[in-house]
Structure 1
Amino acid sequence: MSILKSPYPIYTLHPSGFKTLNLLHHLEKHNVVFHSKTDEDEKIIEEVNSFSGFSAYTFDENLENKISSPIRNLIIVKDKKELDYAREMLSTLSFFKIRQGEEISLTHVVDLLSEKNFERTNIVEKSGEFAVRGGILDIFLHGKREPIRLEFSGNKVLSIRIFDPETQRSIKSVSEVTLFSTRRKAESDTSFIILEELEGNSPFSVLHNFNYLGKVELLKDEIERLKSEGYEVYFFAFGENKEKFFEELLRCSVIQGKIYNGFVFPLEKIAVFTETELRGIKHRRWIRKEHYGERIEDYTDLKVGDYLVHLDFGIGRFAGLERIEIENIKYDTLRIEYKDGIVNIPVHNLSKVEKYVAEENERVEISTLASPHWQVKRAKALLETYKFAMELLKIHSYRKKERGFIYKPVPELEYKLYAEFPYEETEGQIRVMEEIFEDMESPKIMDRLVAGEVGFGKTEIALRAAFRAAVNSFQTIVLVPTTLLALQHYTNFTKRLANYPVKVAMLSRLTHPREKDEIFQGLAEGKIDIVIGTHALLRSDISFFNLGLLIIDEEHRFGVEDKEIIRKKFPMVDTLRLTATPIPRTLYMSLGKIYDLSILDTPPPGREAVETYVGKFDKEIIKQAILFEIERNGKVFFVNNRISGIREIVNMLEEMFPDLRIGYAHGRMPKNLLEDIYINFYLGAYDILVSTPIIEAGVDFPEANTIIVNNAHTFGLADLHQLRGRVGRGIKKGYAYFLTPSEISEEARKRLSIIEKYSELGSGFKIAMKDLELRGAGEILGKKQHGFVRTIGLEMFFRLLEQAILELEGQKFTEKEVKVKTDAYIPYDYIEDENIRLSFYKKLADAKTEEQLQRLREELIDRFGPIPKEVEELFYVQRIKILTASKENIKGIVVEPSELILETSEGKKKLKRGLDIEFLRKWA
């Protein structure tokens, strides 16, 4: 990344951006040991690492195990001792390379990885891990963005591929890879230079930019002026896929990379501008892309003892996989324990089996095989699922026929608005905005649900959608469940849209009666573009001049009657619904054809995980936690599980902190009083708010970054996770203290251990899947559906719903039971891990088309190598099931080594293997 024509001395008073570009110039040809004398090391490392092919490190004694390339490495040292160590290390460093086609022992490579302290895992997801599966070796090298996959045949390297840690699928092939460094006495593979940061100013005229925050036109004028004077002007964009956006906005060369401080350098006639100057984005610690949310394997978290539901037999406990042999035929079975017996389900008939996810503290009733009770419950659930599918299709069909509004892009205004956003957009935000704008530019009525954890950027998405409507002369309603949320949205919208001809109003109980009349008039006459409000917006006497868009935040918190009013009042309006409830991926897949769903799953860059402490109730810990927060000008939540203990907590805190302002709230207070307390806390009237667990969902309390939860053992996982999500939503680090009595149950101890362990961002699915998924079913599907979903389990409901939708659309899919009289299983030496084996059995059983089957085959070959004959038989069985699913006259199937037997209404039909597939494809 050489923008400078030649390298220059680096002085302490240079802008960091100039230092980084100077270092990058040297790094094109050498490794660099940089003796830094300022506190900008972290910033420079982040800037260098943001450019592909370059790696930067602060010094540590394990550094040689992290460097995985002989070139383009920057090592920052702080003193002579570190400098001497880095020099000695680089002068003896060689690199272990592997090339496609060469002979090398897989065992030897594995031994070297272990020596280098790489961790052996089943699935490689983060740097420093490796996995071995037969002749496949996956490695995630330090300092690399993606892991690599080596495929061996004996001692020969057949291929080297880069793969995506999220999907585990290969992305591209490469001819060679440098794995890691080794110390040798022979001549080093590395070429390096040592640069020392000089005290004082530069002898060259390097100028700091002044701040163009929000002043796009001013920056454009400055760029044009510099270009007219013969300068080369560059703009550095932080995120991916932003080059075109900024090129159209600023009309200069745009480079993707995180340079935080721009400069004007007259000596070389170079000017560098960055998003920092334009948007005020502050330096945050750069984190290489990690995988957030669920792991790709659906069944990796299934443990012996977990609940399963079989459509025919009911709810039982998973007792593991068992390989059985009958008449010299081997196959794997899923063992399910019931009250009065065990059922072994062959893996080729797994389509009727799903996980049963119970609510926190719910007592699950295990089914009895001999009782008809399950059959009655199943029949009711099937009927309700079918009715629900009909309702969904009716809504979908209606929206598909009606023509909505088309909102055209207005690039000049929209680009300016985006450039003024003071944060980096996440990948998730960019993707979701593209999905929303695609809807808005289409004539069909939009009905999109955006789901994302708290603080992942839903408000900015809503604002941009409302802005697109406003610049197309359409009005927008932003409907929220509480006065405080209305106030917060109103504050954010008015601040962001202050420089635009867009009028924003708020309608809630805080609005003065006279002002309400003015708002009603403004809406009717088209003088108000965006109105943010609570239930007051549902009044029948409110009229709009040109309403186009309805945004509903936290829709699940509106009652059934409110939702009915919304449906009747705004039938032709484009609707965007926002929720912080995690959407299970299975729901996403099941309803993808009916609802337009967008998942916002990327945490904001720089946002740190909330530090979590679990321990016994201790006044000294409470005192120190509150003092720490108050000393950094913050506020504190103190949550007690019962109303009866609130006053006692308040008295204790008042005694500890007589000078602090302490408020309290609980659910038995009148609604208006409760809202007023939260509004006052939001506006800074209290330092500490003591409450029951009713903290306003969806609202940012930016100054409140410490939460103390008393009697934490009485809360479910989901509740603890959501309480923790109240803090640490901004730049300041959040702290959560979960306090308990000395004696708590083993179950509660386990829950608290999980919440302490899984504190990373985006962990909502991991730590509280049971409770959150079922809560999500109730909130997203409706309370009526929640009842029968509990009967059959969420996963089974999704499967039946998908099947009902297909049937109602005229696509018959009746899976046949198959008897297999040939070895059909996944050998232990092909996939060693039982959970991953089980996951692939399930994926195979779920395949509904030959295309899906082919994709699964490609995934297996990619991840585990050539497919053994026993696995080929599994694929054959599933292909037969797919090809016969729509043929109603076929009642049963028998698979033998040399022939296929179809049991039809006319009798048995025998087909030779090899001729059967083509026959079934042609058979009407």
Structure 2
Amino acid sequence: MKILESLYPIYSLHPSGFKTLNLLQHLEEANVILFLLDIENGKIIEEEVNSFSGFKAHTFDENIENKITSSQRNLIIVKDRQELSYVKEILSTLTFFKIKQGEDLNLSYVLDLLSEKNFERTNIVENPGEFAVRGGILDIYLHGGSEPLRLEFSGNKVLSIRIFDPETQRSVKPLSEVTLFGIKGKSKSDTNFKVIEEIEGNSPFHVLHNFNYLGNLELLRSEIDRLKKEGYKVYFFSFGENKEKFFEELLKCQILRGKIYNGFIFPVEKIAVFTETELRGIKHRRWIRREHYGEKIEDYTDLKVGDYLVHLDFGIGRFAGLERIEIENIKYDTIRIEYKDGVVNIPVHNFSKVEKYIGEEGEKIEISALASPRWQVKRAKALLETYKFAMELLKIHSYRKKERGFIYKPVPELEYKLYAEFPYEETEGQIRVMEEIFEDMESPKIMDRLVAGEVGFGKTEIALRTAFRAAVNSFQTILLVPTTLLALQHYTNFTKRLANYPVKVAMLSRLTHPKEKDEILKGLAEGKIDIVIGTHALLRSDISFFNLGLLIIDEEHRFGVEDKELIRQKFPMVDTLRLTATPIPRTLYMSLGKIYDLSILDTPPPGREAVETYVGKFDREIVKQAIQFEIERDGKVFFVNNRISGIKEIVKMLEEMFPDLRIGYAHGRMPKNVLEDIYINFYLGAYDILVSTPIIEAGVDFPEANTIIINNAHTFGLADLHQLRGRVGRGIKKGYAYFLTPSEISEEAKKRLSIIEKYSELGSGFKIAMKDLELRGAGEILGKKQHGFVRTIGLEMFFRLLEQAILELEGQKFAEKDIKVKTEAYIPYNYIENESIRLSFYKKLADAKTEEQLQKLREELLDRFGPIPPEVEELFYVQRIKILAASKESVKGVVIGPSELIFETDEGTKKFKRGLDIEFLRKWA
């Protein structure tokens, strides 16, 4: 073990992982401790070292002993003597626990080790430090950036070792062996560390740092050409895999992916490295790399006893759990649903008729009565409206396909340069959505696409790239926004990003001077302005355009019905991109995806830190400390109160606490212009604290405001709490949210606050806690009329009926038939122990409509739970027969017994022995 303390030769102008790595290569020992006083520099060195092979770098934390591996050399970065002593003590007695495929190993021994290492046993492994056991399957998620592992045992033999994806829970890659972690004190250390206190002398090599090219692409290209002629190997490090093709096209040198923050020239080895930092002339924002993005919620694993379900035949009831019953010596798993006047047990093979009921938060839900015909009347009306709506959608879709719009061709040279200058790594969601938009723009059809993505997921960059594509094709773009402040922010962002391009951007709002306004109107008419950003002022009848091609509407749901109608009349043939932060339910996306242009932006930015959330009783000292902390780091504070009446008292309290701070206040009864001016002043830095009712400008980034205090938080709905928290922590600084309440609050309020505290990760609004917003999102797309009957039958049931209506109108028949099962078809407790996961698989199986879907489910069960037992095989058989019967009009019902099948058809009853091939039955039917 070597300990590096004389670090000047490594640093030079910047902390450099490359210089550190080269210094390490001159050392004989396998492992090194690097002692740094500035841990932020340590994190940069960690990421840069890990971009190269040879060493695995780790900054010190409480799980350091679980991160060290014997498979490669380790660099451990510590910041003080205490951490140094702790690491030395651990490593003096560390041995590594390896597992090989095919070896004999007692599973119980591994489980004991995991418990000893403080791993948490869970039902589903999604985060580092967790493990799960399902029969002979062991899932482990190690610390230190490793991928999660799945070990399959048969008795005491290791059958296989696989890496799996924590999102899908599916295996992705086999391994022959794996090192789990170091075990302290189990035996004499085999790590062979040698401890040396310092390195004498300077580094045996010299590294030069690169010049900042300040976005001058030609100058950088010239330097690369010069170095190549001098015999240098030239590399360019890209921060994200999605940018590699852009840089390859622009720079004509070898592109590598890695977290290298500062380029360098290494004359000894004739190596030159450039990074995005030099190209753009600004420091790339270093994301704090997180190991997960929040708690993943599967469709039915979050269903709890007491939640509302809706059955197609019986209506809305309460879920009372899974219940195994026995009839005529045959075991069945059933979904137990409680109604106003009775209980119904639904066999799991009929689970497809059941959906979760999603209504608006706080609404009083009427439970159906089995003896009453009211549900049948509601259902009939909803079915009729659903068919009408499906016909409207198909009609609009057909019209759009016939009409011809503009074609916007790619301009790679300019577009790649623009993408390369984006100071973040694009998310998978952004790349996917841009591909969908560009596919629309490159086709002759008129684009009308809605992009839905939670706050902070990157919609602004999507709008900018779309407008840029239009501009380089000589078409003008309108970016329509609901408020002056949002117009100002978009204008600032667009002008900054497009400063080096032949694209003219202008803003029209009440802030625009009359003389400047006249010049802008003239520029639009003459084609001298390419992109105009503004509010309702852009809908004036006297504005004319030279060659308008694209309309982008941001926060579309905030425009009134009259505004939307005016937009449709004024711009009937232009391509339209609509942006909303209201979550659009995935099930609606799946139902309408083929006929409605929806894009879901559901990938969080990589590594952005979650907002730290505190829930507790109101305390002046907590308020004081929270504000003081934010002000000391040069930040600003939101203070939200639920009522206008308490605003002035809060302002007075804060003025007494902080007499030197600038405090502003705002509420909804102020004139619109006055209110906007207050927010603009806060945005521009005129206030340190803004006290307001919950009307904080949606869609706008307040980069300096990273603490929000919400008073009387118990009075807010879940969706509102989530959105208020989303106002902070959207930049490089960590955000803090304080939800303060009186001493006594209702159980329902406690439940809401508990959920908001638990699901604090970015993106959790798409996973849970946002059902109220999902219903708003459905209403936004479907319209008020549809929104009404969606509430009647529930969101999920509406989507199912809509999907079925669309399929039938397109000529695809799939009508579920009456199926009676007289054989044991269920998931045994010892195969899937956890009830919620069992429930999830029952739902997936019952909803399967094709052989391909069944095969994927079979593969998932084999992968996650091991060999499939006979009772589960019987479930698959039942579903195959169910799919067959649904696709055949002549079949009215089926009875599935242990040895025979009975089909009720138009011609009468047909009996078959079990074991006949499904293809034979399909041909017969």
User: What interval of TM-score do these two structures reach, taking the shorter chain for normalisation?
Assistant: over 0.9
| 1:49–1:823 distance in 2 versus 1, CA, 3 Å | same
- Residues 275-314 of structure 1 mapped to structure 2, 5 A cutoff: 275-279=276-280, 280-282=282-284, 284=286, 286-292=288-294, 294-295=296-297, 297-314=298-315
Deviations 1:480-508, CA, capped at 9 Å, x for gaps: 11121111111111111111110111122
Structure 2 match to 1:11: 10
**Cα shift at 1:438:** 3.0
Q: How many residues align?
A: 916
Distance 2:652 2:874 in 1: 71
1:63 aligns with 2:64: yes
| 1:729–1:80 distance in 2 versus 1, CA, 3 Å | closer
* More divergent stretch after superposition (589-598 vs 330-339): 589-598
Distance 2:550 2:195 in 1: 60
Deviations 1:751-793, CA, capped at 9 Å, x for gaps: 2222223222222134523322222222333222221111111
Structure 2 match to 1:34: 34
1:377 aligns with 2:378: yes
Give the RMSD, CA atoms, in angstroms.
2.6
**Cα shift at 1:37:** 5.8
| 1:730–1:84 distance in 2 versus 1, CA, 3 Å | closer
- Residues 859-878 of structure 1 mapped to structure 2, 5 A cutoff: 859-878=860-879
**Cα shift at 1:887:** 1.7
SS at 1:544's partner residue? coil
| 1:112–1:693 distance in 2 versus 1, CA, 3 Å | same
Distance 1:666 1:487 in 2: 21
* More divergent stretch after superposition (442-451 vs 199-208): 199-208
CA contact (8 A) 1:70 1:95 kept: no
| 1:34–1:10 distance in 2 versus 1, CA, 3 Å | farther
Distance 1:750 1:477 in 2: 44
Distance 2:481 2:205 in 1: 56
Amino acid in the other structure paired with 1:290: H
- Residues 497-646 of structure 1 mapped to structure 2, 5 A cutoff: 497-646=498-647
| 1:655–1:92 distance in 2 versus 1, CA, 3 Å | closer
| 1:41–1:596 distance in 2 versus 1, CA, 3 Å | same
Distance 1:157 1:389 in 2: 53
Amino acid in the other structure paired with 1:327: E
- Residues 378-397 of structure 1 mapped to structure 2, 5 A cutoff: 378-397=379-398
**Cα shift at 1:402:** 2.5
| 1:791–1:608 distance in 2 versus 1, CA, 3 Å | same
**Cα shift at 1:624:** 3.1
| 1:878–1:567 distance in 2 versus 1, CA, 3 Å | farther
CA contact (8 A) 1:37 1:197 kept: no
Structure 1 match to 2:3: none
| 1:666–1:33 distance in 2 versus 1, CA, 3 Å | closer
Distance 1:76 1:372 in 2: 71
Distance 2:537 2:218 in 1: 40
Distance 2:649 2:187 in 1: 73
**Cα shift at 1:407:** 2.1
**Cα shift at 1:186:** 6.4
Structure 2 match to 1:3: none
SS at 1:182's partner residue? strand
- So what's the TM-score if we normalise by structure 2? 0.94
**Cα shift at 1:682:** 1.9
Distance 1:379 1:685 in 2: 58
Distance 2:526 2:585 in 1: 43
1:398 aligns with 2:399: yes
**Cα shift at 1:321:** 0.4
**Cα shift at 1:333:** 0.3
SS at 1:177's partner residue? strand
Amino acid in the other structure paired with 1:393: L
Structure 2 match to 1:5: none
**Cα shift at 1:799:** 0.7
SS at 1:495's partner residue? helix
**Cα shift at 1:60:** 5.5
CA contact (8 A) 1:717 1:767 kept: no
Structure 1 match to 2:316: 315
Distance 2:607 2:202 in 1: 31
**Cα shift at 1:202:** 4.8
| 1:9–1:726 distance in 2 versus 1, CA, 3 Å | closer
| 1:27–1:542 distance in 2 versus 1, CA, 3 Å | farther
| 1:311–1:742 distance in 2 versus 1, CA, 3 Å | same
CA contact (8 A) 1:10 1:196 kept: no
1:134 aligns with 2:172: no
**Cα shift at 1:62:** 5.2
| 1:300–1:269 distance in 2 versus 1, CA, 3 Å | same
| 1:425–1:902 distance in 2 versus 1, CA, 3 Å | same
Structure 1 match to 2:363: 362
SS at 2:273's partner residue? strand
| 1:194–1:786 distance in 2 versus 1, CA, 3 Å | farther
Distance 1:505 1:747 in 2: 49
**Cα shift at 1:867:** 1.2
CA contact (8 A) 1:36 1:77 kept: yes
Structure 1 match to 2:738: 737
* More divergent stretch after superposition (807-816 vs 186-195): 186-195
SS at 2:10's partner residue? coil
Structure 2 match to 1:328: 329
- Residues 402-481 of structure 1 mapped to structure 2, 5 A cutoff: 402-481=403-482
CA contact (8 A) 2:10 2:203 kept: yes
**Cα shift at 1:140:** 1.2
* More divergent stretch after superposition (337-346 vs 373-382): 373-382
**Cα shift at 1:626:** 2.6
| 1:845–1:854 distance in 2 versus 1, CA, 3 Å | same
Distance 2:838 2:499 in 1: 57
Distance 2:812 2:52 in 1: 50
Distance 1:293 1:347 in 2: 27
* More divergent stretch after superposition (634-643 vs 862-871): 634-643
Amino acid in the other structure paired with 1:688: I
Distance 1:361 1:244 in 2: 50
SS at 2:769's partner residue? helix
CA contact (8 A) 1:406 1:441 kept: yes
Amino acid in the other structure paired with 1:879: R
Amino acid in the other structure paired with 1:522: G
Distance 2:426 2:505 in 1: 24
Distance 1:735 1:286 in 2: 16
Gaps of 5+ in 1: 1-7
Amino acid in the other structure paired with 1:798: F
Amino acid in the other structure paired with 1:287: R
* More divergent stretch after superposition (104-113 vs 687-696): 104-113
Structure 1 match to 2:920: 919
Structure 2 match to 1:4: none
**Cα shift at 1:716:** 0.8
**Cα shift at 1:872:** 1.1
| 1:79–1:705 distance in 2 versus 1, CA, 3 Å | closer
Amino acid in the other structure paired with 1:737: Y
- So what's the TM-score if we normalise by structure 1? 0.94
CA contact (8 A) 1:119 1:130 kept: yes
Distance 2:336 2:62 in 1: 50
CA contact (8 A) 1:551 1:576 kept: yes
SS at 2:876's partner residue? helix
Amino acid in the other structure paired with 1:911: F
Identity, % of aligned positions? 85
Distance 1:446 1:306 in 2: 40
Amino acid in the other structure paired with 1:350: F
**Cα shift at 1:189:** 4.5
Distance 1:657 1:91 in 2: 52
Structure 2 match to 1:757: 758
**Cα shift at 1:399:** 1.9
| 1:329–1:53 distance in 2 versus 1, CA, 3 Å | farther
Distance 2:733 2:338 in 1: 49
Distance 2:680 2:875 in 1: 61
1:211 aligns with 2:212: yes
**Cα shift at 1:746:** 2.0
Amino acid in the other structure paired with 1:876: Y
**Cα shift at 1:124:** 0.7
- Residues 772-791 of structure 1 mapped to structure 2, 5 A cutoff: 772-791=773-792
Structure 1 match to 2:493: 492
| 1:47–1:839 distance in 2 versus 1, CA, 3 Å | same
* More divergent stretch after superposition (201-210 vs 222-231): 201-210
CA contact (8 A) 2:94 2:183 kept: yes
Distance 2:716 2:127 in 1: 32
